[in-house]
Structure 1
Amino acid sequence: MGFLLRLLFIIVGAYAIYKNRYKVLNYILGISSIRKFVVAFGMDLPFVRDRFLQTVFRG
């Protein structure tokens, strides 16, 4: 019974996060230290960096 209850809570929690994913993402990225980490991590990935630079310097 405990397993089913735990599974139900996980499913309901995942659904709630999915339903409000943009609000959750805005809240998380609103924290400056996390935002700096995400941007630095993203710019370390070559395919992300190349795509970003192509978009910025398109001309």
Structure 2
Amino acid sequence: MKKLLIYSLCAVSVLAVYQNRYRLMNSVLSQPGIRRSFIHFFLKIPFIRNKFIQQAF
């Protein structure tokens, strides 16, 4: 019974995060330091960097 309660709480929390994923992402990326590290991380990935460079120029 206790496992069922834990699984259901996990499922509800995952659903809530999934439904509010863009709101959460906007609030996290509104912080300048986190946004800067996020951009640095993704520009290290060659496919994303090449795609960005092609669109920029």
Both structures adopt the same fold (TM-score exceeding 0.5) = yes
Aligned CA-pair RMSD:
0.8
Q: Deviations over 1:18-39 (max 9, x none)?
A: 1111101101111111111110
Alignment size in residue pairs: 57
Equivalent residue, structure 1, for 2:28: 28
Identity of aligned residues (%): 35
CA distance in 1, matches of 2:12, 2:35: 27
CA distance in 2, matches of 1:11, 1:33: 31
Structure 2: 5+ residue runs without aligned partners? none
Equivalent residue, structure 2, for 1:44: 44
Letter in 1 for 2:50: D
The TM-score with structure 2 as length reference comes to: 0.92
Equivalent residue, structure 1, for 2:5: 5
